[in-house]
Amino acid sequence: MASRLQAADRRRIAALWQELSIAADVVHARRLPLYAEAQRLAPIGLGTDGRDKMLVPGAAKAWASMRDAAAGQGVELLMVSAFRSFEFQAALIRNKLAKGRVIEEILTVNAPPGCSEHHTGRAVDIGTSGCAPLEEEFETTAAFAWLQRHAGAFGFTMTYPKGNAEGYLYEPWHWCWQVPRVFRSR
pTM for the complete prediction?
0.92
User: What is the pLDDT, as a whole number, of residue 186?
Assistant: 35
In the predicted structure, residue 72 carries a pLDDT above the cut 50: yes
Domains of the chain with CATH codes: 7-177 (3.30.1380.10)
User: What is the pLDDT, as a whole number, of residue 1?
Assistant: 38
- pLDDT tens for 144-162 read 999 999 999 999 999 999 9
Query: What average pLDDT score do residues 26-49 get?
Result: 96
Query: What average pLDDT score do residues 107-136 get?
Result: 97
Three-class SS of the chain:
CCCCCCHHHHHHHHHHHHHHCCCHHHHHHCCCCCCCCCCCCEEEEECCCCCEEEECHHHHHHHHHHHHHHHHCCCCCEEEECCCCHHHHHHHHHHHHHCCCCHHHHCCCCCCCCCCHHHHCCEEEEECCCCCCCCHHHHHCHHHHHHHHHHHHHCEEECCCCCCCCCCCCCCCEEEECCCCCCCCC
User: What is the pLDDT, as a whole number, of residue 12?
Assistant: 96
Q: Which of 23-27, 123-127, 142-146, 177-181 has the lowest mean pLDDT?
A: 177-181
